[in-house]
Amino acid sequence: MGKALEWLKLNHKDYADLEISYKNLNLYPEDLPPVVINYRHSASNKIPETTSVHDMELENGTEEGMCPFTVHTLTSEEYDTTRPDILKAVAMKHLDDGGKVLAIGHSKDPQSICKNPQLYPQMFPWLFPYGLGGIGHERQKHKLSDIEHKWHLLMYHDKHFKKDPHFPLIAFNHEQIKESSTSSFILAKQKSFDNIADRLLRIKSEVLTDISQQMVKGERVKGESQDEKYCLQLIHDLDHIGGHVKGSITSQKYMQNEIWSLIAFQGAPSWCITLSPADNKHPISLYYADSKEEFKPILQSKSEKENLIADNPVASARFFHFMMQAFIKHVLGVDTDHPGIYGDTAAYYGTVEQQGRLTLHMHMLLWIRGALTP
């Protein structure tokens, strides 16, 4: 343990000022962890801190019959079938009623995700063992944007960044937060700042409640009174911010608007195509997921293939992107000197979503030049 701390002090930037107490180190046993282990036997599968005062049952569950499961919030099915403006109205009503949001922190002072080179080395010490190489660090030879730097780390040769279960997800989540903050900052910096502030002060709780209830029922809210117009304009401002965030509900709404614009310009589409490449079987995908530099066509077992893909979601995304680009170029004939197999492509629009096993597939609309409308 002493040698490990000495190595950190010599090699890790954040441990340079570490003071090692060898007297305390000598008190720890060599074959046991230097922490106290407390074991508490539980006679129930319930967590006492989260149990209602009206819950008198000893355990959760049942030995016979149906096992009831109650959810007191929106479920994933409701997210899929509910319009974006309804979700925003429900969220605003929740906050207006004094509802809480979840925030998880581990420090007295929150860390900034902008211009903080030590953020990622401190979050992922196993990925940055020397405390160097964080996003935006001062030793960069060439200027890189945060997205390019994250892509560089994900493409690192030994693949330990892309195989980490948390790094890709957190890196993408930080980009979403930055895009949301930037778009809201730009909106507030414009000449409409005074109007936005005045509108927020004039929002009435009872009007917002009525609008959210009408939207949940599927009714159309026209905004006849001035108070209703303030609430609807607030929802519009949220749309303006969310439209710049990848994967948000508003970005999906904007894509629907683009499809309707294409239909108005090109007419009805000729084909609807669904592409679902088998990433757990294709040799290119397996090569991306493996750590071997040389490609050899060696047959692998089913479990080996599935483990490779499950451990490396970035490889699956790279393979999917490669296959979609190849399909658009060679099969549809876009940006080439030959027509596609369906005919001369006039336009196309594709959206990507996950399957049940969390791999990617695409739904695409295709317009053929000179074709009769359906």
292 within some domain: yes
Amino acid identity of residue 62, one-letter, is T
pLDDT score for 134: 86
Query: Same domain, yes or no, for 273 and 242?
Result: no
What is the Cα–Cα distance from 238 to 97, expressed in whole angstroms?
19
Which structural domain range is residue 24 located in?
A: 1-40
pLDDT score, position 348: 95
Q: Are residues 206 and 244 in the same domain?
A: yes
- 131-136 long-range contacts, CB within 8 A, separation 24+: 131/12, 131/13, 131/14, 131/15, 132/13
* DSSP result, 295-352: -------HHHHHHHHHH-HHHHHHHHHHHHHHIIIIIS-TTSSS-BTTBSEEEEEEEE
Of the residues 250, 280, 314, the one at which a domain ends: 250
In a domain, 232, yes or no: yes
pLDDT of residue 332: 94
- pLDDT recorded at residue 77: 57
Q: Is-contact 364 275, C-beta < 8 A?
A: yes
Consecutive H or E run containing 181: helix 167-189
49 domain residue, yes or no: no
Yes or no: say if 151 and 162 are a contact pair by the CB < 8 Å rule.
Answer: no
Rg (CA), the chain: 27
pLDDT of residue 330: 94
Pair 230, 325 in one domain: no
Report the pLDDT value the prediction gives residue 183, as an integer from 0 to 100: 67
Total domains in the chain come to 3
Residues 94 and 206 in one domain: yes
Nearest alpha-carbon partner for 312 in 338, 336, 291? 291
The dihedral formed by the CA atoms of 155, 145, 175 and 114, expressed in degrees to the nearest 10: 120
- Predicted local confidence at residue 14, as pLDDT: 80
Do 239 and 271 lie in one domain? The reply is: no
Same domain, 238 and 276: no
Asked if 9 contacts 16 with a C-beta cutoff of 8 angstroms, the reply is: yes
The last residue of one of the domains, among 218, 250, 282, is 250
For residue 89, being part of any structural domain is answered with yes
CB-CB contact of 176 with 241 (8 Å): no
Residue 262 lies in a domain: no
DSSP state letter for 143? -
Same domain flag for 283 and 363: yes
Predicted pLDDT of residue 261: 94
Residues 360 and 218 in one domain: no
- Type of residue found at 359: T
Residue-by-residue pLDDT tens, the chain, 374 positions: 678 888 888 888 788 888 888 888 888 777 776 666 666 666 666 666 666 666 666 666 666 666 655 545 555 556 566 777 787 888 888 888 887 776 666 667 778 888 888 889 888 888 988 888 888 777 777 778 888 889 889 888 888 898 888 898 899 888 888 887 776 665 555 556 667 667 777 777 788 788 788 777 777 777 778 777 777 777 766 666 666 677 777 788 888 999 999 999 999 999 999 999 988 888 888 888 887 777 777 777 888 888 888 888 888 889 999 999 999 999 999 999 998 999 999 999 999 988 777 788 999 999 999 888 77
Amino acid at 327: F
Domain membership flag for residue 186: yes
- What's the pTM value of the predicted model, to 2 decimals? 0.60
Q: Are residues 89 and 234 in the same domain?
A: yes
Residue 304 in domain: yes
Cβ distance 366 to 270 under 8 Å?
Answer: yes
193-202: buried (b, 16+ CB within 10 Å) or exposed (e) per residue? Answer: eeebeebeee
How far is residue 245's CA from residue 159's CA, in Å, rounded to a whole number?
27
State residue 33's pLDDT score: 65
- Centre a 10 Å sphere on the Cβ of residue 85 and count the other Cβ atoms it contains: 20
The answer to whether position 171 is within a domain reads: yes
**Do 200 and 304 share a domain, yes or no?**
no
146 plus 232 within the same structural domain = yes
Judgement on whether residues 213 and 182 belong to the same structural domain of the protein:
yes
